Amino acid sequence: MRIFFFDSGDPKLGSNRIYVKNLSNWIKPHVEKIRISKKFEAGYDFYICSKFCTFQDLEEIKLKNNNSKIGLIHPSNHNKNEIKKLKIADFFIVGSIEEKVYLESYTNNIIRFPQIEDYSISLKKHIFKKKIILGYHGNYQNLIGSNQNYLRAIEKLSKFYDLELYLIYDKSLGEFKNNKIKFKIIDWSEKNLIRFLSKIDIGLVPATNNLYFDKDLTTNIFIKTFKYIFSKFGKSTDYIIQFKYNSNPGRSHLYHQAGIPVVAGFWPSHFELLSNSENGFLAHSRESWVSSIEKLIKSHQLRNKLSRNAYKIYKKNYDPKKWTMNFYKYLKYQKNKNKIRGNEN
């Protein structure tokens, strides 16, 4: 089996690190040849392509490699060109159940591979301390576009506890501002991520949604409209949850690898990952964020307990070797299908 990985060259992109750098290393012992490049070459059984591959790239692969299969990483349908790519690809590589279900309207040839980082990280041992470091790592757009209840919870808790929020993201994308809490912006790099991750006591993974209703947000016309609709057709106790189709729990996986307890927002992957209060907390309203974070602030024993339980689940369910073998078997099945069709012709 010969596999070509298209490399975008940007280590800041999680999909490039995980599905090109990491996956190519993990699967290399099982295949005949691996090639990673920004320029396409002929003669491979599989071409694993990122969102930076154009439709013309995929078309060229098909013309020059008639029996080859194209796998698209995190495909989208945001415009006509992206939809054309969906139609020419043979299978999709996704990182979550949300993404898989959404893309099943285009094909059922979808392989799920969690967004698992390949870092050598020591498990954090939590001790009693007065100053607590809260942490966010990820995309700047997700940071500012997420449900802001977690920030409002930190603002409230900062009146009673010594807290600082570490924000690890690509600083070139924007500047976070908040005059009610202490925070530190750390420019994303793999070196900085590992260095500052070890200093974080509580990992925060807010959901990327803006449909949240409470008394402090009554000026928003969009929210007022939804409140009116729900007053007519829904119940005041109903949840309205918005999440991206390609939401995934990759940020939580990294915290679990490092032994850091997680408080996360509502979306399906986190319902699966944090199924109870034994390995992390789910939060939605400001009050639930306050309650979850405060429990962890008060008890280093609880921080150790939740992080150790989460690490056990991570090792059992998200071992990259297991997922790599699943991926390899999927490719082998696809290749054998090609052989059968060739013999029939």
Residue ranges and CATH numbers for the domains of the chain are 2-116+319-344 (3.40.50), 131-208+243-317 (3.40.50.2000)
* pLDDT reported for residue 262: 96
DSSP code of 122?
P
The alpha-helical segments, DSSP class H, found in the chain are: 14-16, 23-27, 55-64, 80-88, 97-103, 140-145, 149-157, 190-197, 221-233, 250-258, 268-273, 286-298, 300-317, 320-344
Q: Which of 118, 97, 94, 121 is nearest to 320 (CA)?
A: 118
pLDDT, residue 82, reads 86
Give the model's pLDDT for residue 341. Answer: 44
In whole angstroms, what is the distance from residue 208 CA to residue 205 CA?
9
- In the prediction, which pLDDT does 141 show? 82
> What single-letter DSSP state applies at residue 29?
G
CA distance linking residue 271 with residue 268, whole number of Å: 5
* pTM greater than the 0.95 cutoff: no
pLDDT along the chain (345 residues), means of 10: 86 82 94 92 92 87 88 87 90 93 92 91 94 94 83 96 96 92 94 93 84 46 64 66 83 94 91 84 92 97 96 92 95 78 43
48 half-sphere exposure, CB direction, 13 A CA radius: 29
Using the structure block, give the residue that is written with the tokens 């059922």.
Answer: 108
Distances 190 to 23, 133, 157, 202 between C-alpha atoms, Å? 17, 19, 30, 20
Range 20-54 burial, b when 16+ CB lie within 10 A, else e: bbbbbebbeebbeebbeeeebeeebbbbbbbbbbe
